[in-house]
Structure 1
Amino acid sequence: MDEKNGNTPVPVQARIRPDHEVVVIGAGFGGIGTGIALQRKGIHDFLIVDKWDRVGGTWHANTYPGVAVDIPSFIYSFSYEQRGDWSRIYAPGTELRDYADGMVDKYGLRSKLRLNTTIVAANFDEDNSIWRLATDGGQEITGRYVVMAVGGLERPKMPDIPGLHDFTGSLVHTAMWDHDLSLAGKRVAVIGTGATALQLIPAIVDETAHLTVFQRTPIWVFPKNDAEVGSLGRALLSNKPVRSAARLLGTVATEVAMSGNLAGPAWLGTTLRRAGEIPVRRWMRNQVDDPVLREKLTPKYGLGCKRPSMSNDYLKTFNRADVSLVTDSIERITERGVRTVDGVEHEIDVLVCATGFKLWDRGAVPPFPVRGRGGMELGAFWDAHRFQSYQGVSVPGFPNAFTITGPYGFVLGSYIWMIEATAAHLSRAIAEAGRRGADVVEIRQEAHDEYFRHCLRRQERNFLFTPTCAGSNTYYIDNHGDSPFRPTTHGEMYWHNRHFDLDVYRYTIGSSPAAEVVATAKESV
């Protein structure tokens, strides 16, 4: 608000003081990592809000049978909070949730939590330079800064199939698992064959009378070198140098296999992909006895076009007489089951939708209206102008607002690496605003645009847009036809988020750019 538009600015001394300096939305790993990063910068007046009754985010919400991490646990953990007492190399979901709980206590975050509270709207108050957050209970929480640490695996996506709600049996999505639902002796159908289905299907098949799996696109499946971490393994992993060495090796392998595929030179990605496809395809084919099923379960698109996964049991499940694979398209859901385009009605008692999440869907990112300067709504902005943000953290026009999992912030691999990087980024910007005596910090348009152009230039050589990935139905590509993942290595992500020029942001007293505050001393480390 300014005099030029006929509005008189509110004097600094008359502005409303917010409830908290920072409000973090989400108490999963993103929110927890943000809280720790803020504390490390000397920022202690913050609140972490979450809709659930317990911390853990994805690992609290997803409790379907077989749920587990698909990245080795010693990698899927914070660098400053490594553990050596995981029960398995790939820990079950309950251990990841307990890990989050333990971090909350260790880092003194319990008193910062407000659980069972859903944020339904966020509006930037330009007169007072604060964010006003509306809750589902009709209350308001205000913060100088807001951090949206709402994870990507947050909003379940039900399949868009006619008649879905006509089904008279039991209907469940994997992300909203009903533990009172018994599958014993029932005819069960699973729609979807992604990473979740790979874990779920082997976990429930012994319980069902018959299991029918509806597959649209086959998935690349790797053998899972999983095992219990016995006393010897725990002794080794309790040794910090050994644990750090194992973590480094795993990180380098992920960097080469995943980041190298997307961010490296085209020849490297092609070489890695082809070298990986041969042994993986051979292993996959050896798991399935029936040659017709074998062909249906083998991807025709290239390795890496969509998220692969690991399982020693998934493909073997289809060797069973009480398991059916259906690859005909679904025409509609009926009262009694699923009818495919060939006219066959598959009668079932329970329908399980393993159909993923609304990752880049309109209205899903963010999951509530976020209105910045001039009332501009973030979801509408992205819908009209493509997904974009500076290093996955900041968007021009949305002062004092930061995201943990924003567009072009995530390098394929462990989410934890991105959380550490983006949390360090935003806490650095907030601390700098405080050091300069400013109460508004906003990414400069030119810095944001240059970063976006850089990502789009790198994206041009991305194999996701080549015939190699035709027919993959990958969620790596959004509804604009872009791939809003960060096309860099993890090393670049780590360095750039911690060492960006602080002046890519504009620091002001009040919302007027004319009130910019320049640095008078160097940032303290």
Structure 2
Amino acid sequence: MTPPSSPPAAGLVPAVPTPVPSRGELRAALREANLPTLLTVLAHLTGDDRWLREPYAPTRAVGLDDHDTGGLDPAVQQEVRAAALDVLLARGLTTPAPALAPARIAELLRASVAEAVPASYGELLAEELGQTPRDADVPPVPAGRDLHVVIIGAGLSGLCQAIKLEQAGIAYTVLEKNHGIGGTWYENTYPGCGVDTPSSLYSFSFAQRPDWSRYFVQRDELHAYWEQLAADSGVAARTRFGCEVTAAEWDAEAACWRLAVDAGEGRTEALTADVLISAVGLLNRPATPRIDGLDAFGGPVVHTAVWDPDVDLAGKRVAVIGTGASAMQLVPAIVDDAARVTVFQRSPQWAVPHPNYHRATTPATRTLMEHVPGYAGWYRLRVFWRFGDRPHALTQIDRGWKHPDRSINAASETLRRYLTHHIETELKDRPDLLAKSLPTYPPYGKRPLVDNGWYRTLRRDDVDLVTDAVTSVSAGAVHTAAGETIEADVIVLATGFQSLKILGPMDIRGRSGTLLRDTWGEDDARAHLGITIPDLPNFFCLYGPNTNTGHGGTIILTSEFQVRYVMELLATMVADDIATVEVRQAAHDAYNTELDAALEDTIWTHPGMTTYYRNSRGRIVTNSPWSYGDYWRRTRRPDLADFHVEHRAAATTADDRTTASARS
């Protein structure tokens, strides 16, 4: 086994480290500090809670902005900034912030956001703050034992998993169908592409960036982060690009996976793996609608997820089919170049205004993030709470609620009114657009989007919004169910992904020889915790069924939980000389029964909208009903009682080679 390279440094990882600021530079930076964050830093560094009591206690934020002043009087703000300067200079910027007990971290965050944060979140918050480790304790693999892991996919989850294997000294290979790192952030390059989650949260907890150029980073800068991380960690050197796994079959006799790999240019390879990890995710295969005549259009037809940079939109009539996340980013980004843009909408989306969406960070902000002990961590925790688990309540149905057609509980109704007011304000002079743009289903029925100037764009004279269904395409034109013909030079398909066909392109056969696709069907994937599947020994899914966080936050956090779960199982396999682990059918079924019951009480069962979350029978396949806190607790430590375990010494006995059906 090749020895692992040095792991990336924990904590903050600036693209280019900057010198420690001088007194004057620090004073100038503190003038731009977010006061709720700075007050929490003061309380953390000094242990003095007076900074979280009157007259310094920050108020609760209204809306989604950063609440930079904390609601404090200007004179009090100045006092806080001056005190912070004195404290930081006295203790030094290179002295790490002291360790805190988890309960204390929850207490400080509670004061910082001025709202309830359950004490049960303390340990999760401590991990996010870097106060306690999230890594599994993996013993060295004994000499003479072969343990090789193959990861399918070099997107975010695959990269996270590979870094943790690298750090643990476990041999691995990453197989990636693309020719670069990043998964969806490698593939999606359409104009305007970027995150709809704050940049501070959209990075690994162990490799945070303090120097993002924007509060909501764009695609190219984010992709560069993944590439840098893969190179610095050694993962890029162990990744085989242009290699797509087409089939995987469990060999019970040899206790390994046998893989068929399309290596490109007509070449196929056969590989083996002791452990197989799928990191292909849910959003990796574009969904192309079946529209009569699409092949006869004559001009460019491009999907947002497979963008062709050679397509010139300047002076062109562009037809955009779809109004999801990619369309909401794309359309405002192309209208100044295109001659005319026609948007074809199946159903309207709720869009949330966010003051930071187009906001650039300043050198002062980046100085605070990189050099003030604890500042970046506490800022991230505030964002995690406000964008992550606080909105979870908005997805939970109150069965006694009096207006279930338009909202699902009191908080949902408040949000509906707020968002309705925003749309009405944006379209106040265009009643025709308002009628088309105001959703009739409750917020969070589909994941709310961030308003990228969408409504202002729709008001333009050179933009049309069409709500009649597209029925066909002919040379240079799109036709609707209302009989309208719209001429176009370019068609853009902003129609999302085949999210329900999880692991769909691969033929996977487990211990019984049964094809996984036959067990799941075309659109009904299930897994225990979204990670393990009966009949598939030593097989793990990252971003698998029912792990999409529909209430907000970032899938990166979920992926870190899942990677830790996998690493804990691998640690047990190494420590206890275990050859295979395979989730029991009973444990899998019990979990999925609980999961389905919890999902029945979520907004995604609401009949008022269509969504890719549900399959053809109405079951929610992609989304999780759990909060981050819930899922963290469920995945923190695997329960070995949930698994069939075969020790290496017994792995080849007749009793241990029974089929999965007999074992369940």
Q: TM-score, normalised by structure 1?
A: 0.90
- Paired position in structure 1 for 2:605: 465
How far is the alpha carbon of 1:431 from its aligned partner? Answer: 2.2
Q: Please give the alpha-carbon distance, in whole angstroms, between the structure 2 residues aligned to 1:385 and 1:476.
A: 10
Task: Work out whether 1:105 is the aligned partner of 2:231.
Answer: yes
Aligned AA for 1:349?
Answer: D
Q: Which residue of the other structure, out of 473, 494, 513, is the alignment partner of 2:632? A: 494
- Secondary structure at 1:376's aligned position in 2? coil
Structure 2 counterparts to residues 11-410 of structure 1, below 5 A: 21-40=148-167, 42-136=168-262, 137-225=267-355, 226=357, 227-238=359-370, 239-262=372-395, 270-288=409-427, 289-361=429-501, 365-383=503-521, 386-410=524-548
What residue number does 1:4 align with? none
**TM-fit CA distance, 1:464:** 2.3
Change (3 A) 1:263 1:487: farther
What is the distance in 2 between the residues matched to 1:99 and 1:353? 28
Task: Please tell me whether the aligned partners of residues 18 and 130 of structure 1 are also in contact (alpha carbons under 8 angstroms).
Answer: no
CA deviations over 1:459-494 (Å, ceiling 9, x no partner): 221232234xx1x21122223311232211101212
CA distance in 1, matches of 2:271, 2:497: 28
Instruction: List gaps (5 residues or longer) in structure 2.
Output: 1-143, 402-407, 658-664
CA distance in 1, matches of 2:288, 2:442: 27
Separation of aligned partners in 1, 2:399 and 2:215? 32
| 8 A contact 1:18–1:143 mirrored in 2 | no
Does structure 2 conserve the Cα–Cα contact (< 8 Å) formed by 1:190 and 1:212? yes
Alpha-carbon offset, residue 43 of structure 1: 4.3
Aligned mates of 2:548, 2:309 — CA distance in 1: 33
* Contact map agreement 2:247 2:261 (CA 8 A) in 1: yes
Task: State the alpha-carbon separation in 1 of the partners of residues 443 and 397 from structure 2.
Answer: 16
- CA apart distance, 1:58: 0.7
Q: Aligned partners of 2:146 and 2:301: how far apart in 1?
A: 42
Residue 77 of structure 1: CA displacement?
1.2
> Are the aligned partners of 1:20 and 1:142 in contact in 2 as well (CA < 8 Å)?
no
Look up the equivalent residue of 2:527 and give its one-letter code: S
Structure 2 match to 1:3 = none
Letter in 2 for 1:483: I
Q: Which moved more, 1:259-268 or 1:153-162?
A: 259-268
- Percent identity reads 34
Give SS of 1:390's match: coil
Q: Which moved more, 1:173-182 or 1:424-433?
A: 424-433
For structure 1, which runs of at least 5 residues remain unmatched after alignment? 1-16, 517-525
3-state SS, counterpart of residue 405 of structure 1:
coil
CA separation of 1:333/1:278 partners in 2, compared to 1, >3 Å: closer, same or farther?
same
The SS at the match of 1:332 is strand
Partner of 2:200, secondary structure, is: coil
Change in CA separation of 1:415 and 1:426 when aligned onto 2, cut-off 3 Å? same
Change (3 A) 1:267 1:18: farther
Does the CA-based 8 Å contact 2:368-2:376 persist in structure 1? yes
Secondary structure of the 2:479 match is: strand
The change in CA–CA distance for 1:312 and 1:336 in structure 2 (over 3 A counts) is closer
Q: Cα distance 1:103–1:253, how it changes in 2: closer, same or farther (>3 A)?
A: same
Conserved 8 A contact 1:360-1:479: no
Q: Given that residues 389 and 628 in structure 2 are in contact (C-alpha distance below 8 angstroms), is that contact kept between their aligned partners in structure 1? A: no
The residue type equivalent to 1:206 in the other structure is D
Q: The residue matched to 1:203 in structure 2 has which SS?
A: helix
Structure 1 residues 18 and 403: CA distance shift in structure 2, 3 A: farther
| Aligned-pair Cα RMSD in Å | 2.1
In the aligned structure 2, how far is the partner of 1:52 from the partner of 1:366? 17
Cα deviation for residue 94 of structure 1 reads: 1.1
Distance, in Å, in 1 between the alignment partners of 2:653 and 2:293 is 53
- Matched position secondary structure for 2:274: strand
Residues 385 and 234 of structure 1, relative CA distance in 2, 3 Å threshold: closer
Tell me how far 1:286 sits from its aligned partner. Answer: 1.4
Cα distance in 1 for partners of 2:594, 2:321 equals: 38
Q: Match of 1:133, as an amino acid?
A: L
Counterpart Cα distance in 2 of 1:161 and 1:504: 46
CA distance in 2, matches of 1:117, 1:80: 28
CA contact (8 A) 1:195 1:307 kept: no
Question: For 2:533 and 2:235, how far apart are their aligned partners in 1?
Answer: 28
More relative contact order in 1 or in 2 (CA 8 Å, sep 6+)?
1
> Residues of 2 paired with 1:477 and 1:197: CA distance?
21
Residues 1:36 and 1:130: Cα distance change in structure 2 (over 3 Å)? same
Counterparts of 2:611 and 2:422 in 1: how far apart (Å)?
Answer: 23
Q: CA deviation at 1:385?
A: 9.3
Most deviating of 97-106 and 143-152: 97-106
Partners of 2:575 and 2:624 in 1: how far apart?
A: 30
Moved more, 427-436 or 320-329: 427-436
Give the Cα–Cα distance (whole angstroms) in 2 for the partners of residues 220 and 235 of structure 1: 35
Query: Deviation of residue 319 (structure 1)?
Result: 1.2
Would the aligned equivalents of 1:68 and 1:90 in 2 still touch at CA under 8 Å? yes
Contact 1:396 1:442 in 2 (8 A): yes
Cα 1:257–1:285 change in 2 (3 A) is farther
Report the 3-state secondary structure (helix = DSSP H, G, I; strand = E; otherwise coil) of the residue aligned with 2:559: helix
Partner in structure 1 of residue 613 of structure 2: 476
Q: How many residues align?
A: 494
Inter-partner Cα distance in structure 2 for 1:110 and 1:328: 47
> Does the 8 Å CA contact 2:282/2:544 hold for their aligned counterparts?
no
